[in-house]
Structure 1
Amino acid sequence: MNQNTRLQFNALSAAMAKQYGVEDVTQTFAVTPSKHQEIIAATKEKIDFLDKINTITVDQQSGTAIGLDASGMIMGRTDTSANPRVPRDPTSMSGTDYNCTQTNSDTFLSYAKMDAWAHKKNFKSIVAEQIRKLIALNKIQIGWYGESEAATTDPNTYTKGEDVKKGWLQKLREQYAENFLSEGTTPGEIRIGLGVDGGANATDFKNLDLLVNDVKQMIDTEFEDDEDLVVIIGSELLGYEKAKFYSDHGNTPSEKSKIEDMQVIGTYGGLPAYKTPKFPGRGIVVTSFSNLSIYEQNGTMRRRVKDNPDYDRVDTFQSQNMDYVIEKLGKMAAIEFKNVKLWNEATSAWY
């Protein structure tokens, strides 16, 4: 790196050391719980979805999910002449377990890239913000796509982080399969679109409204009327529905206006509809945002910055113990996005 970049790098290292209260960031150090909370708060500011769900810090590496939503019957009375009043826990444990394991977020910046950015006054914030945002997006993506936990992950093969951690969808698949729709009348397929009445090209759901309504019906009776239920829909399904709406109503000014104003994406199956980053394009999830959590273990966030001249770069090592949690399994329902087929009217075929 050139002289100016070296000065900037030294200033960045000194600023990090001051921020985290350590003498030397080139030696592995543990982030304090208070700084950990600051990092969580800063990350939520960058990604709206993370601000909607829970990021919970826990002291134990494993245990039973906290269960933040209040539910059940707490009103009643007791004949105190015979028995004492017995309080009930409105946030009783759901029975879902968590196990926070080490997850690394290791990155590097080449000297050449650092030389290109070093002249900018906000050099330090550019580096920190870009990495922080990418870590946040990775967390979300693994939450939707994660299926296993490999000892050594392979990002070239599993480009969406499928082998990093088991995410929310995988936990629903394994722990509450009755709330996970994997196929319709055709084995291994969930068909959405007009199709052809009867025969090999029959459909399961003519539109998204019908499918979302069916998914909603899988929610446990205890939660089916909760006002915080939402549906998260993949961008490909929304695009498919919007294209169909254009085709049917695009020449009607009032209807075209609704499309442009995104009103057609407002509700499906009677639920508020949302798009989230890194969500499967053909996915559908019905739940509440407060039912989705990321657990991070206190005292396990560790960092180190290393000048690596052997490779003309600066390495940054960061790790923490974390896990994905569905607070109440019965309050979530989803479809197998891998099995969704859409009807192509032009070719009269499913794809």
Structure 2
Amino acid sequence: MRNETRIKFNGYSAQVAKLNGVDSAAVKFSVTPSVQQRLEAKIQETTAFLKKVNIIGVTEQEGEALSLGSKGPGAGRTNTANGHRRNPASRGALTKDAYKCVKTDFDTAFNYSEIDQWAGHPEFQTLLTAAITEQQGLDRIMIGFNGTSAATETDLQANPLLQDVNIGWLQKIRISASTRVMDEGVVGSGKVTIGPNGDYVSLDSLVYDAVQALDPWHRNRPDLVVVVSRDLMHSKLLKAIDNGAKGNQEENAAGEIIARARLGGLPVEDAPFFPDGTVLITTLSNLSIYYQTGSRRRHLKEEPEFDRIADYQSSNDAYVIEDLGLVALVENIQEAA
């Protein structure tokens, strides 16, 4: 590490310590709730997808989902003149998800040579913070769509999509709303096929049918979206992109075509790390990440034996489906032979 970098990094470390009311950031400390909240906001801002889901601080480590938003019809009328009592619709009758925030390590290392390149920039601290928060945001999306377990010790080589870090959104649906999951058709064993000889003629017809798995009062919601894997959208959009993306505006035209894409009448949401051969119908406000307030720990550490500095962070996190009646999941989708 160059001397100029040393000065910049020491300033960053001192600022982190000051914000959290500790003498030094070079020892493990608890991130203060106000700083934790600001950090969570920065993480959410790192990707367009995270901005569309809920990231919420909870006091208890485990409990029932908060059940945000509308959960079904509540309008009606009671003839009180006949002695009938008005009885508001009970939220407790809903099929609620449960959550358990588990400790998740978000550790990041930067080689001396890497941060030496940033030392000449006046926004050194901003660059370093952005690099840390961006990776945490991407990791959370990856866990949300691919997580199937919360192992005592994770194995990145065996689980490159962080499958063993936490139980993600799709696994929550498989466990708690299995009747709303389709993973096999009648044409082929262990798969749902699309095409002239498949279970569905097209991806559009599959989505149109899958909507029926939602609770009746959710099927015509204006904010429904279909999250679809890129492999399934490839053939559908490729021709449109080739025809529409001409001249000097190729990249913009292609982006506009994708943004306007619809399946089964629903707008398409292109989500990072979404599994191949998969379709999820829901609202993005139905997907949440809960973090336990006061649970984040941090330790900035220089490790000269590796020629690097390391930022050790951990947070107690849970992935939550707010309304299990507002999901339909189709998996193992393949083109028919």
TM-score norm. by structure 2 comes to 0.89
What is residue 54 of structure 1 aligned with on the other side?
A: 54
The one of 162, 175, 194 equivalent to 1:192 is 194
Aligned partner letter, 2:195: G
1:70-85 equivalent positions in 2, closer than 5 A: 70=70, 71-77=72-78, 79=80
Deviation at 1:74, TM superposition (A): 4.7
Deviation at 1:193, TM superposition (A): 3.1
Aligned partner letter, 1:51: K
Post-superposition Cα deviations, 1:297-343, rounded to whole Å, max 9, x if no partner, equal: 1110111101122222211110011100101111101111xx22235
Separation (CA, whole Å) in 1 of partners of 2:201 and 2:150: 37
What is residue 247 of structure 2 aligned with on the other side?
A: none
SS in 2 for 1:18: helix
SS in 2 for 1:262: helix
Separation (CA, whole Å) in 1 of partners of 2:108 and 2:54: 26
Identity in percent: 34
Asked whether the equivalents of residues 179 and 334 of structure 1 are also in contact (C-alpha less than 8 Å), the reply is yes
Deviation at 1:131, TM superposition (A): 1.5
| Residue 325, structure 1, aligned to residue 325, structure 2 | no
Question: Cα–Cα, structure 1 residues 244 and 262, in superposed 2: closer, same or farther, change >3 Å?
Answer: closer
What is residue 288 of structure 1 aligned with on the other side?
A: 283
Deviation at 1:266, TM superposition (A): 2.5
Aligned partner letter, 2:280: V
Separation (CA, whole Å) in 1 of partners of 2:109 and 2:129: 12
| Residue 151, structure 1, aligned to residue 146, structure 2 | no
Asked whether the equivalents of residues 258 and 264 of structure 1 are also in contact (C-alpha less than 8 Å), the reply is no
Question: Cα–Cα, structure 1 residues 304 and 263, in superposed 2: closer, same or farther, change >3 Å?
Answer: closer
What is residue 208 of structure 2 aligned with on the other side?
A: 213
Question: Cα–Cα, structure 1 residues 130 and 114, in superposed 2: closer, same or farther, change >3 Å?
Answer: same
| Residue 300, structure 1, aligned to residue 295, structure 2 | yes
Question: Cα–Cα, structure 1 residues 106 and 73, in superposed 2: closer, same or farther, change >3 Å?
Answer: same
Which ranges in structure 2 are unaligned for 5 or more consecutive residues?
245-249
What is residue 240 of structure 1 aligned with on the other side?
A: 235
Question: Cα–Cα, structure 1 residues 74 and 63, in superposed 2: closer, same or farther, change >3 Å?
Answer: farther
Aligned partner letter, 1:55: I
Asked whether the equivalents of residues 65 and 93 of structure 1 are also in contact (C-alpha less than 8 Å), the reply is no
TM-score norm. by structure 1 comes to 0.86
Deviation at 1:75, TM superposition (A): 3.5
| Residue 273, structure 1, aligned to residue 274, structure 2 | no
How many pairs align?
A: 329
Separation (CA, whole Å) in 2 of partners of 1:93 and 1:30: 36
1:17-166 equivalent positions in 2, closer than 5 A: 17-70=17-70, 71-77=72-78, 79=80, 87-88=88-89, 94-166=95-167
Deviates most, 142-151 or 79-88? 79-88
Separation (CA, whole Å) in 2 of partners of 1:262 and 1:208: 17
